[in-house]
Amino acid sequence: MFETLDEICADCASRLIRAARDRKSPMHTPVIATADVDARVMVLRAFDPTTWTLRLHTDTRAPKAQAVIADPRVAGVFYDKGAKIQIRVRGRGRIEAHGPVADAAWAASTNFARRCYLGEGPGAASPVATSGLPPEFEGVEPDDAQLVPARANFAVLLISIESLDWLYLAHTGHVRAQFVRADRAWQGRWVAP
């Protein structure tokens, strides 16, 4: 069990770093909610512990991208069942489709992952069950030339975390702490679960 607020804040950073790097981390796929009260599971691609910024990938045509552009308030829930730890975050999101961050994220993606941006936009209606991919790319990895049109649909969602809510579930009694970011430092307090 953690004894101090500083230990908890450090643990949150450590868990988010691992979640971004390790596909098997239980926190690798958080639930992300936008201000339009819509939520979805997303893949955490990166976490910068210096700026407390999360990076996730999205399609520029996705409703969540438009929701973040209209109102940047974003929340996320990360849960590790084995450790019995939940981390809730709130912050400001921004969509970057162009520039060095989006370009680097695109370059670091595999062609198989990039193919998701070739198809119909998220939420496009279909008369049959569909992946949305063009038929020629179902189960097939496109080459770089075939992916050129996909780049226009790719963006990153960056979330600058402004507050954290940490909850440890224990049969002896749950423990909870909250943190708010003031300038570049975190201010924490214990709260009742």
Collapsing DSSP states into helix, strand and coil, what is residue 139?
A: coil
pLDDT of 30 reads 98
pLDDT of 2 reads 83
Domain positions in the chain: 5-111+154-191
pLDDT of 184 reads 80
H or E stretch covering 5:
helix 5-21
Q: Are 141 and 115 in contact (CB under 8 A)?
A: yes
* CATH placement of domain 5-111+154-191: 2.30.110.10
- Work out the percent of the chain whose per-residue pLDDT is above 90: 92
Q: What is the mean pLDDT of residues 4-31?
A: 97
pLDDT band at 177 (very low <50, low <70, confident <90, very high): very high
Q: Indicate if the pLDDT at residue 1 is higher than 80.
A: no
| 3-state DSSP helix/strand/coil % of the chain, to nearest 5 | 25, 35, 35
Q: What is the mean pLDDT of residues 77-93?
A: 98
Q: What is the mean pLDDT of residues 132-138?
A: 91
Query: For residue range 24-66, what is the model confidence (pLDDT) as tens digits?
Result: 999 999 999 999 999 999 999 999 999 999 999 999 999 999 9
Q: How far apart are the first and last CA of the chain?
A: 15
pTM for this one?
0.94
Q: Indicate if the pLDDT at residue 155 is higher than 80.
A: yes
